[in-house]
Amino acid sequence: MLVLLLSFAIVLLDQVTKYQVCLRFYPGESIPVLPGLFNLAYVRNTGAAWGMLSGLNGWLVCFSVMILLGLIIFRRSFLSDVLIHRLALGLMIGGIVGNLMDRVRLEYVVDFLDFHWGLHHFPAFNVADAAICVGVGLYVLSSFLVPSHPLREIRPDRTMTPGEG
Protein backbone atom coordinates (compact mmCIF):
# COMPACT_ATOMS: atom_id res chain seq x y z
CA MET A 1 0.00 0.00 0.00
CA LEU A 2 2.90 2.36 0.77
CA VAL A 3 4.26 1.91 -2.76
CA LEU A 4 0.91 2.82 -4.32
CA LEU A 5 0.35 5.83 -2.07
CA LEU A 6 3.86 7.17 -2.62
CA SER A 7 3.64 6.59 -6.38
CA PHE A 8 0.30 8.39 -6.53
CA ALA A 9 1.62 11.30 -4.43
CA ILE A 10 4.66 11.68 -6.72
CA VAL A 11 2.52 11.62 -9.87
CA LEU A 12 0.09 14.15 -8.38
CA LEU A 13 2.85 16.53 -7.21
CA ASP A 14 4.68 16.16 -10.53
CA GLN A 15 1.62 16.85 -12.67
CA VAL A 16 0.39 19.77 -10.53
CA THR A 17 3.78 21.51 -10.60
CA LYS A 18 4.14 20.99 -14.36
CA TYR A 19 0.62 22.32 -14.92
CA GLN A 20 1.43 25.44 -12.89
CA VAL A 21 4.61 26.01 -14.89
CA CYS A 22 2.71 25.68 -18.18
CA LEU A 23 0.07 28.16 -16.93
CA ARG A 24 2.52 30.78 -15.69
CA PHE A 25 5.46 30.59 -18.11
CA TYR A 26 6.04 30.79 -21.83
CA PRO A 27 8.17 27.98 -23.30
CA GLY A 28 11.81 28.94 -22.79
CA GLU A 29 11.02 31.56 -20.13
CA SER A 30 13.12 31.54 -16.98
CA ILE A 31 12.77 33.49 -13.73
CA PRO A 32 15.59 33.69 -11.17
CA VAL A 33 14.63 32.47 -7.70
CA LEU A 34 18.12 32.45 -6.19
CA PRO A 35 20.23 34.56 -8.58
CA GLY A 36 23.34 32.75 -9.71
CA LEU A 37 22.07 29.39 -8.41
CA PHE A 38 18.44 28.51 -9.17
CA ASN A 39 15.78 29.50 -11.70
CA LEU A 40 12.27 28.34 -12.43
CA ALA A 41 12.05 27.76 -16.16
CA TYR A 42 9.77 26.17 -18.74
CA VAL A 43 11.72 23.64 -20.79
CA ARG A 44 10.10 21.24 -23.25
CA ASN A 45 12.32 18.17 -23.20
CA THR A 46 11.70 15.89 -26.20
CA GLY A 47 14.45 13.51 -25.09
CA ALA A 48 15.45 11.54 -22.04
CA ALA A 49 17.73 12.68 -19.21
CA TRP A 50 19.82 15.71 -20.18
CA GLY A 51 18.05 15.84 -23.54
CA MET A 52 19.65 12.61 -24.78
CA LEU A 53 17.70 10.78 -27.50
CA SER A 54 15.91 14.00 -28.40
CA GLY A 55 13.05 13.51 -30.83
CA LEU A 56 12.60 9.79 -30.09
CA ASN A 57 9.40 10.17 -28.06
CA GLY A 58 7.74 6.97 -29.36
CA TRP A 59 10.77 4.91 -28.44
CA LEU A 60 10.99 6.61 -25.02
CA VAL A 61 7.30 5.84 -24.35
CA CYS A 62 7.91 2.15 -25.14
CA PHE A 63 11.08 2.09 -23.04
CA SER A 64 9.28 3.72 -20.09
CA VAL A 65 6.44 1.19 -20.28
CA MET A 66 8.95 -1.71 -20.42
CA ILE A 67 10.87 -0.39 -17.39
CA LEU A 68 7.62 0.19 -15.49
CA LEU A 69 6.39 -3.33 -16.24
CA GLY A 70 9.81 -4.77 -15.36
CA LEU A 71 9.79 -3.00 -12.00
CA ILE A 72 6.34 -4.32 -11.21
CA ILE A 73 6.72 -7.88 -12.53
CA PHE A 74 10.26 -8.57 -11.28
CA ARG A 75 10.21 -6.50 -8.07
CA ARG A 76 10.60 -9.59 -5.88
CA SER A 77 13.76 -10.56 -7.77
CA PHE A 78 15.63 -7.41 -6.82
CA LEU A 79 13.74 -5.90 -3.87
CA SER A 80 13.40 -7.10 -0.29
CA ASP A 81 10.33 -6.37 1.80
CA VAL A 82 12.02 -3.57 3.73
CA LEU A 83 10.97 0.07 4.03
CA ILE A 84 13.86 1.49 2.00
CA HIS A 85 12.99 -0.79 -0.94
CA ARG A 86 9.30 0.07 -0.79
CA LEU A 87 10.21 3.77 -0.78
CA ALA A 88 12.62 3.29 -3.69
CA LEU A 89 10.02 1.40 -5.73
CA GLY A 90 7.30 3.97 -5.02
CA LEU A 91 9.56 6.85 -6.03
CA MET A 92 10.72 5.14 -9.23
CA ILE A 93 7.20 4.11 -10.30
CA GLY A 94 5.76 7.55 -9.52
CA GLY A 95 8.53 9.29 -11.44
CA ILE A 96 8.26 7.04 -14.46
CA VAL A 97 4.47 7.42 -14.60
CA GLY A 98 4.69 11.21 -14.19
CA ASN A 99 7.05 11.60 -17.15
CA LEU A 100 5.20 8.95 -19.16
CA MET A 101 1.98 10.94 -18.81
CA ASP A 102 3.74 13.97 -20.34
CA ARG A 103 5.24 11.92 -23.17
CA VAL A 104 1.87 10.41 -24.11
CA ARG A 105 -0.18 13.60 -23.68
CA LEU A 106 2.27 16.29 -24.86
CA GLU A 107 4.97 14.35 -26.74
CA TYR A 108 7.58 16.02 -24.52
CA VAL A 109 8.35 16.27 -20.81
CA VAL A 110 7.97 19.56 -18.94
CA ASP A 111 11.13 20.40 -16.99
CA PHE A 112 11.33 23.47 -14.78
CA LEU A 113 13.92 23.17 -11.99
CA ASP A 114 17.02 24.90 -13.34
CA PHE A 115 20.17 24.88 -11.19
CA HIS A 116 23.38 26.60 -12.26
CA TRP A 117 26.64 27.97 -10.95
CA GLY A 118 27.92 30.88 -12.93
CA LEU A 119 28.01 29.74 -16.53
CA HIS A 120 27.69 26.04 -15.63
CA HIS A 121 24.13 24.76 -15.96
CA PHE A 122 22.79 21.48 -14.69
CA PRO A 123 20.10 20.31 -17.14
CA ALA A 124 16.60 21.35 -16.06
CA PHE A 125 14.53 18.62 -14.43
CA ASN A 126 11.19 18.07 -12.68
CA VAL A 127 9.63 16.33 -9.67
CA ALA A 128 9.38 13.00 -11.54
CA ASP A 129 13.07 13.11 -12.50
CA ALA A 130 14.03 13.87 -8.89
CA ALA A 131 11.86 10.99 -7.63
CA ILE A 132 13.47 8.54 -10.06
CA CYS A 133 16.98 9.64 -9.06
CA VAL A 134 16.23 9.49 -5.33
CA GLY A 135 14.57 6.08 -5.77
CA VAL A 136 17.57 4.68 -7.65
CA GLY A 137 19.90 6.26 -5.08
CA LEU A 138 18.01 4.64 -2.20
CA TYR A 139 18.15 1.29 -3.95
CA VAL A 140 21.92 1.55 -4.51
CA LEU A 141 22.46 2.74 -0.93
CA SER A 142 20.39 -0.18 0.34
CA SER A 143 22.73 -2.64 -1.34
CA PHE A 144 25.27 -1.61 1.32
CA LEU A 145 22.82 -1.34 4.24
CA VAL A 146 20.27 -4.15 3.82
CA PRO A 147 21.68 -7.56 4.75
CA SER A 148 18.87 -9.34 2.88
CA HIS A 149 19.39 -7.34 -0.32
CA PRO A 150 18.63 -9.70 -3.24
CA LEU A 151 21.86 -8.69 -4.99
CA ARG A 152 23.89 -9.79 -1.93
CA GLU A 153 22.00 -12.89 -0.89
CA ILE A 154 24.01 -16.09 -0.72
CA ARG A 155 21.84 -19.04 -1.58
CA PRO A 156 23.26 -22.16 0.07
CA ASP A 157 20.62 -24.37 -1.58
CA ARG A 158 22.08 -23.65 -5.02
CA THR A 159 25.07 -25.60 -6.22
CA MET A 160 27.39 -24.48 -8.98
CA THR A 161 27.51 -26.50 -12.15
CA PRO A 162 30.64 -26.79 -14.30
CA GLY A 163 31.14 -23.65 -16.36
CA GLU A 164 29.40 -21.31 -13.90
CA GLY A 165 31.60 -18.74 -12.36
14 classed as catalytic:
no
Q: How far apart are CA 164 and CA 83, in angstroms?
A: 33
> Is 157 a residue of the active site?
no
Distant-in-sequence contacts of 154-158, Cβ < 8 A, 24+ apart: none
Which candidate in 14, 102, 111, 114 is catalytic?
111
Active-site hit among 14, 102, 114, 129: 129
How far apart CA 62 and CA 48 sit, in angstroms, is 12
Active site residues: 111, 129
